[in-house]
A and B are shown apart, each in its own frame.
Chain A
Amino acid sequence: MGDLTERTMDVKETRYKLTLCDGTACIHNHSKAVQQALETELDKHGLKDSVSIHLSGCLGMCTKGPILIVNPGYIMYGRVQVEDVPEIVESHLVNNKAVTRLIITEDHLYNRFFRIFGDVDFFGKQMRIALRNCGIIDPENIDNYLSLRGYEALAKALETMTPGQVIEEVKKSGLRGRGGAGFPTGLKWEFTANQDSDEKYVICNADEGDPGAFMDRSAIEGDPHTVLEGMMIGGYAIGAGKGIIYIRAEYPLAIKRLEKAIASAREHGLLGENILGSDFAFDIEIRLGAGAFVCGEETALIHSIEGHRGMPRPRPPYPSVKGLFGKPTLINNVETWANIPVILLDGADWFNTVGTETSKGTKVFAVAGRVQNTGLVEVPMGTTLREIIYDICGGIPNGKRFKAVQTGGPSGGCLPEHYLDTEIDYESLAKAGSIMGSGGMIVIDEDSCMVSLARFFLEFTQDESCGKCTPCREGTKRMYEILTRITEGQGQPGDIEKLQRLGEMIKHSSLCGLGQSAPNPVLSTIENFREEYEEHIQDKKCRAGQCTALLSYTINDKCVGCGACKRVCPVNAIEGVRKEKHRILQEVCIRCGQCYEVCKFDAITKA
């Protein structure tokens, strides 16, 4: 999917590309007027065909808006007023001389991608902070990372900040854990730092288990050093000398790139003793997972590193008090670590300007499912679902209607259309009945059955349940059995109530996050799509046409009697004479759909 010629400009002729910030603050500052002035001016100089104007989302420099970026050359003009436009066009675009008095040199770490990427439609509304270097640097070459202010945050912390000050900065930034729980990162650092212990550990949770999620994988494959730097800063802040990256074994390339990164860092004296000439010593080790989704849960992960069965344990005590090998342990997600160098270099005050009141910064989403452009998207908190799905990812292909969006992986809920304008942050998604999770976002169109989808997710969580606690181990199995019956046409009155009863109990009684969130897809689909459940149970109908047991194929009047369907039917369920309308025997039909596929006359109705 994705029309490569969607641009109206002939790219061969384009000499300049202008990017104008279309964020709220810049609009407030009359960026629209600037845009119009630009268009008029370009027209005047006959440059309309060789200069393209693109609108991007908030570039994060709201105090200096409106912002105009000119490429090639990545010249950034700030505080552009309508009066400045003629001068810019004349001097820069015609005579190739930049207007120096308007140039701003604020070099935020994340701004780099505008220099290289051409497709503003996809990247325009994004703000790539955690993924700032992904797609820009060669991840296997530490020189690239160094050349882009790599490890400067670490140097700054070591030279000019005490551990306490580092923690204060992280607290001030408002960063919240990106693994899904959204716990204030600075607070977690503070708790761990306050523990009195000779040994402490820093762990990076790279056991990304959500099916279809690849945020962490891409982040590590594209920019492993940012994770290492973040962990080192964390180690410095809490007083730890050892870091462990727990990464799932199913990510061999990411593991290879991490190993290479760690080796390079060691070579450069950035890991080991006396880092950058200071007293700080830190080293990082990689541990592989072994195919257990539950080991993404922090206490299960810690048990796995210790060599025990990956089963969670009750908290308190929390890992910050008693974690790996009984020592205070700071454990954060890959994306959280990736944000840390930015916070130290660009400042917590700046970081605070991105996002909403309660959720600062950006979030990476892996958008998949029925959208034009699937991919990895990083947007500031507060972006609406509609913006992501329609503006960035191009909407639903093939003219189908949007049905729901599932956020948070198998632990999240399904949000129907009236939630599309929800501004994404931890609280609003929870209020809507879903969760942020680690960032999975699956778009569902009218051709998907919500009951089947809920069953699919429950199958996953049931399979991955560690089996320790009764509600999750037994309860999800029973819910799964009920859902299977429903999708097979064996649903009974009272099934929905049973699902809700079980789901609520499992949610409130389970030991760990896996169990506590496993019923979410089921409960949210019952909440928002109850009619579909009722249709399955009472009418034995699946409106999306996905549950094969509830489908029936019938031959309609368009049939010309060619016999093509009869020939392909594997169970001889079709009878009929040549040139006469054929008939499908419902009792024999196994609903494989072959007849539907071969019929050239649209004579088979699937319902």
Chain B
Amino acid sequence: MSQMITITINGKDYRVEPNQTVMQAADTLGFKIPRLCYHPKLSIEGACRVCIVEVEGQRNFVASCAFPVSDGMKIKTNTHALRRARRDIVELIIDNHPMDCHTCERDGNCELQRLAASMGIRARHFAGERKRYEEDLSSEAVIRNPEKCILCGRCVRMCSEIQQVHNLTQAHRGFQTVVMPAYDLPMAESVCTACGQCINVCPTAAFVEKNYTQELFEQLNDPERVKVVQFAPSVRAAIGEAFGLPIGQNMEGQLIAALRKLGFDYVFDTQFGADLTIMEEANEFLERLQNKGTLPMITSCSSAWMKCLEQFYPDLIDNVSTCKSPMSMQGAMIKTYFADKMGIDPTKICSAAAMCCTAKKYEAERPELMFDGMRGVDVVVTTREIAWMIKSAGIDFVNIQPEKADHPLGLSSGAGAIFGATGGVMEAAIRTAYELYTGQTLVDIEVEGVRGLKGIKEGSLTMDGQEIRVAVAHGLGNACKLLEVVRQDPQRYHFIEIMGCPGGCVGGGGQPYAAINTIPLDDKALKKRAQALYDLDRGKTIRRSHDNPDVQKLYKEFLQHPLSSVSHKYLHTHYKAKLPKGIIPKEAKKIEVTQ
């Protein structure tokens, strides 16, 4: 227990812990020093200079996010000189920023706007040249708009420190400084994995997801189309936040009702697709286990993760499960099984998906996932987009009466629900694999060992005397760490779950922006969203994927059995190495390269 020290803030003495920064100490005491580039999960940047304070004995203002407290320190947070300096600094940012708030995606929800309002900027004294850049619209998932960038460096740190993709950096100098991928490549040609975490931390609209709401509205108004939608587990756990509801409320019923009101003919649940994925994947794993196939097997439902693997770990492609993601499996079934059942021409179906994920937009366009000349999913919108569509259509989301999803692709088990949380896929797979392999019921159905926000989780279970070692990683940075271990020691694990976003899909790049007094990636928020899914799981009677009667029916009527040739055609795929400019493949084995 370290000794407390005394500091003085604005004339009053306080006892605080040592070994923290002025900002951290001030936060615990209720002084919320204004800030912009600081984020507790990212390294200290000290770039924006908005959080400056006066410390007695220091010649200049110091950044409170970086300056450590010491015993006897005298701090002032709100002097006239500080207020003027902060105000001028924020004005300088605005002077180099487009003045198009009314037509901007973040209007009303922009950190720069809030900061400027709190500074009381009523006139612009230093207006001058403004930077001009083209918007980068190349990617299907993440749009980059350097004109709106305020160079806080959060995206750079997020992409480098937490995701460890290192796609973004500040380039050039002085007034020409801009955040961009290496060589100023378009995002689509860079190593960007489309995970969208940059969007989550960006205070302005410099990074936003590619918006498909207009296209979707057009489809919804087209009487010739049969409009089908599916939505991910994490969407229902977070969409309430976009409507001002507290974090962690499961709005499944309301969302289904709202989607119907928007005009969708059929509302299905991606959790059904999740159950289907477990059927295929658990069987795939057992097959590899029993026939000495390539182990460890790595899950493949996270599309950002798949792009990351194809770029940086192509030598491990054979380890990855050939299963498609739940969304893509669901999409395939919509256009084959469902269309057939209802006698609908599949080319007339508009298959939409509301996802927590930006990478799913990239995934939906992957040519490898096509079948019979068709895409499984035609339009992917994020939680933010669907929330906006609901608001825009004038639907009273908060008070709407909940409804249930449609058959035959709407029923889901608890295992399918927990897919959104990190460790959920592993837990669901264990529930099914154990019972398929041993023929016995898994008594402890809630596998605590793979739950929680630890970066890399390890565990093991025994199936019929055989020890199965598993690992779970969330966030691409942890995934890379884990994969290095696998490269060194391939015997260490049998089965690995990887989710590209910190916290799992509940922390996806498409989730609602952090509310006014919270920060992005807040651990508490992620835990609450995950808890909503775990509670959903507990509330269901069917908790194992293989117990889902609609899934069983699907196999009986169409797919025959897991890993059948029909399954392989529609539910499985293959991956290839991708080498964007600057990436040199690790010489593990001869790999086929696609650019």
Contact = CB atoms under 8 A, between A and B. Distances in A.
Our verdict on whether A and B bind, yes or no, reads yes
Given A464-B174, A471-B92, A316 B67 contact: yes
Contacts of B65: 314
A518 to B, nearest CB: 11
Contacts of B169: 309
Given A309-B170, A465-B174, A468-B153, A511 B95 contact: no
A470 B47 contact: yes
Contact of B60 (A294, A477, A498, A508): A508
A473 B174 contact: yes
Interface residues of A, number: 34
Interface stretch (B81-89, B361-369, B446-454, B467-475): B81-89
B129 A469 contact: no
B5 to A, nearest CB: 16
Contacts of A466: 173-174, 177
Contact of B47 (A468, A477, A502): A468
A604 B173 CA distance: 44
A130 B245 CA distance: 70
B168 to A, nearest CB: 12
A473 B177 contact: yes
B93 interface: yes
B151 A473 contact: yes
A530 interface: no
Contact of B173 (A314, A316, A467, A507): A467
A508 B62 CA distance: 8
B63 A470 contact: no
B582 interface: no
A322 B150 CA distance: 29
Nearest to A484: B128
Nearest to B172: A467
Nearest to A478: B126
Interface string B66-91: 11100000000000010011001100
Interface string A473-504: 11111100100000000000000001001100
A505 B89 contact: yes
A501 B177 CA distance: 24
A132 B151 CA distance: 47
Q: Which of A294, A309, A314 has the most CB of B within 10 A?
A: A314
Interface in B127-174: 128-129, 150-151, 153, 169-170, 172-174
Contacts of A477: 128-129, 174-175
A316 B150 CA distance: 25
Q: Which of A316, A467, A507 has the most CB of B within 10 A?
A: A467
A577 B466 CA distance: 111
B46 interface: yes
B29 interface: no
Given A309-B169, A314-B66, A471-B89, A509 B60 contact: yes
Contacts of B210: none
Interface in B107-140: 125-126, 128-129
A30 interface: no
A186 B95 CA distance: 45
Contacts of A511: 46-47, 49, 63
Query: Is the interface on chain B under 10, 10 to 19, 20 to 34, or 35 or more residues?
Result: 35 or more
Interface in A202-218: none
Contact of B126 (A292, A462, A464, A498): A498
Nearest to B169: A309
Contacts of B85: 505, 508-509
A492 to B, nearest CB: 12
A255 interface: no
Contact of B48 (A469, A505, A508): A469
B557 to A, nearest CB: 58
B322 interface: no
Contacts of B95: 474, 478
A471 B46 contact: no
Contact of A507 (B46, B60, B88): B60
A309 B176 CA distance: 15
Given A470-B47, A471-B89, A314 B67 contact: yes
23 contacts: A311-B170, A463-B174, A465-B175, A466-B173, A466-B177, A467-B151, A467-B176, A468-B45, A468-B177, A469-B47, A469-B48, A470-B49, A474-B96, A474-B175, A477-B175, A478-B92, A481-B129, A505-B84, A505-B88, A508-B81, A508-B85, A511-B46, A511-B63
Interface of A: 292, 294, 309, 311, 313-314, 316, 462-471, 473-478, 481, 498, 501-502, 505, 507-511, 516
Given A470-B151, A474-B95, A475-B126, 18 more contacts: A292-B173, A316-B66, A316-B68, A463-B173, A464-B174, A467-B170, A468-B45, A468-B151, A469-B46, A469-B49, A470-B93, A471-B92, A473-B151, A473-B175, A501-B84, A501-B125, A509-B89, A516-B60
By Cβ-Cβ distance, the 5 closest A-B pairs, closest first, are: A467-B177, A314-B66, A314-B46, A474-B92, A478-B126
